[in-house]
Chains A and B, each alone.
Chain A
Amino acid sequence: MLLYVLRRIGYMIIALVAVSFVTFLLMRAAPGSFLEMGSGGVVGVDLGLGSVGVHDPQAVQEFIHVFHLDKPWYEQYWGYLWGFFTLHMGTSFEYPATPTLQLIGQTFPLTIMIAILAIALAVVLSIILGTLAALRANSWADRGTVLVASLAASIPHYVVAVFLMLIFGVWFHLLPVVGQAGPKYFILPVVAMALPMCGSMSRYMRNSLVETMNSEYMVTVYAKGGGLRAALFGHGMRNSLLPFITVVGPQLASLMMGTVYIEQMFGILGLGKVFTSASSTRDYPLIMDSTMIYAVLIMVMNSLVDICYGALDPRIRKAQAKGR
């Protein structure tokens, strides 16, 4: 088991280094730079840069010096990496007055909160839906639930978001659609994130529960005088929830991606918003740091799921430990 965990962590580290390196290389290789694409008046440094060109060569030199752009590429790369992992990220091009760490610290909790609420909602909803569908297996209620769930799963977060905005914001005037002024503002974003996840999860829950409820030991439960409740909560749910974690796992990465869209659509200032705006202004330090945060998050989540699954299912654990 230890070997398996170590191997997973090893992959993660290699992948992280690969992500950071590829991002760095792409940023270096791409035409255009912050000096051309970024916002003109950089506060504090006052470069006097317009979108047409650079007017003050001395200021540019200073800018280049401050951000170590005159160093060789490997030193720059190492600087980014070291800064990221020691949490000394410095400042970015676009916001020289606020440390990047503070910028991320302000936006990150919001993103994580939405993501966690969405997962929780999706898990609860799909367990309920899946169980109801399984108990009425092959009835119209079952077919309807499965159909609706798979329809919701086949459209992306931002399309679900649009439908929710139209229904609850425009037609019924029930909920606000843009902003982050209070808890009410987060209802639609969280639901928009949760609904597409429900599809595969509820279908999985239904299928595994149907399989469990039709298995032979269920006959034993009934034969020993257990009712539906004993069968469902004592045995069925327990055996169906175990594999449930495998469907939740792969959704986590797409969930984090979803926050980028959702924050854009609902005007929420989270990490996704920081990332997209950094990307469009070529704010390299900020692109690097926000990409790394997202990458670390997604990879840690994926590895945790893998490790949990390995811990739960001895077959995988043994197969992995033996090596391939």
Chain B
Amino acid sequence: MSISVAEPGGSRALGRTDTAFQRFWRRFSKRRLSVIALGLLIVLVLCAAFASWISPYNPTQSDFLHVYQPPSWRHWFGTDSLGRDMLSRVLGGLRSACAVGFGAEVVELTVGILVGAIAGYVGGTIDNILMRIVDIVYAFPSFLFSIILVVLLGHNLGAILLAVSATSWVGMARIARSQVIRVRESGFVEASMGMGASWWRIIVRYIIPNSMGPILVAITFGIPANMMAEAGLSVIGLGIEPPTPDLGELINEGQSALFSYPYLLFCPVIVFAVTLICFALVGDGLRDVFDSKSSRRGR
């Protein structure tokens, strides 16, 4: 992957006063679809985060007088076999998915960047050992591994977080390592080393800002992957223990009443699909901004 290196202080040298973020936004906002997706995504994530406040009903409260209500103004997504409001359950499920999606990404980011950066910056034998470990974990069948972890550690949020992030940190480690090596060997870092900059200054001033792009892209693709893994565990019946609402669980339940009440399946799936697609569109936009080669090819 070749990425155009933003020259440090380049914009100041040109006499522009805009910040890195403004520069980034100017390029990102050209992609209309990505901007719309970003807006929608923010709304969805906020809905998920404040699910317990904005849900019209309690997602675990059954109401036996109103079971299998089709979607209406009272219940936008209808009610399920126990009369629970589907909109509230979908929001709750989205919250579980987001919790695992973001949480596991934080774990991956921490472990992956730490391993990758140490390997890339220190180099030599340590690099060799760390990268062989990464190679081996990379060969692990990640999904089987997370199933086994969840089965053995229990169906709670912590176990699922661990299961989802246990093998996926290696991708981040590889990206971090290649970025650190790329930046470390670039001319401007050599120049500042020659001028006597400390290693701390090199890391903070050059390596972190210049390797942010690909890592940010990896995050935008990592979060939905985690959400899929989390919901996938529930689809095969190994997710968070009910009655905590969960999208995979809703898919599983909805499938049993597929022909009689298709909206029970349709509503959660459409919300989930829209969320994932928004992530993908935002990720595509980010990748085009940071990876000038691919955007040139795409146009």
Given contacts A138-B299, A299-B139, contact A280 B238 (CB under 8 A): yes
Interface residues on B, range: 35 or more
> Would A154 and B147 count as touching, CB distance under 8 A?
no
How far does the Cβ of A311 sit from chain B's closest Cβ, in whole Å? 20
Question: Which residues of B have CB within 8 Å of A155?
Answer: 228, 272-273, 276-277
How far does the Cβ of A319 sit from chain B's closest Cβ, in whole Å? 14
> Would A264 and B269 count as touching, CB distance under 8 A?
no
Within 8 A of A (CB), among B256-278: 258-259, 262, 265-266, 269, 272-273, 276-277
B43 within 8 A of A: no
- A211 CA / B228 CA spacing, docked (Å): 33
B82 within 8 A of A: no
Partner of A159, one of B140, B149, B269: B269
How far does the Cβ of A18 sit from chain B's closest Cβ, in whole Å? 5
Within 8 A of A (CB), among B28-42: 33
How far does the Cβ of B150 sit from chain A's closest Cβ, in whole Å? 8
How far does the Cβ of B2 sit from chain A's closest Cβ, in whole Å? 14
- A315 CA / B224 CA spacing, docked (Å): 34
Partner of B258, one of A23, A156, A177: A177
B56 within 8 A of A: no
**Main SS class of interface, A:** helix
Tell which of A39-47, A162-170, A239-247 binds the partner: A162-170
> Would B152 and A260 count as touching, CB distance under 8 A?
no
- Against B, the Cβ 8 Å flags (1 = close, 0 = not) of A139-163 are 0000000010011011110110011
How many residues on chain A are close to B (CB under 8 Å)? 53
How far does the Cβ of B158 sit from chain A's closest Cβ, in whole Å? 14
Question: Which residues of A have CB within 8 Å of B103?
Answer: none
Give me 19 A-to-B residue pairs in the complex whose CB atoms sit less than 8 angstroms apart, sorted by A's number: A22-B145, A23-B148, A26-B149, A29-B152, A150-B280, A154-B277, A156-B228, A162-B254, A165-B258, A166-B265, A171-B262, A177-B258, A211-B297, A253-B141, A257-B141, A260-B236, A276-B237, A279-B151, A295-B140
Other A-B pairs, 7, CB within 8 Å; known A158-B248, A265-B255: A26-B148, A147-B33, A166-B258, A170-B258, A207-B298, A260-B147, A295-B141
The 6 closest A-B pairs by CB, nearest first: A154-B280, A30-B152, A15-B139, A257-B143, A156-B228, A279-B151
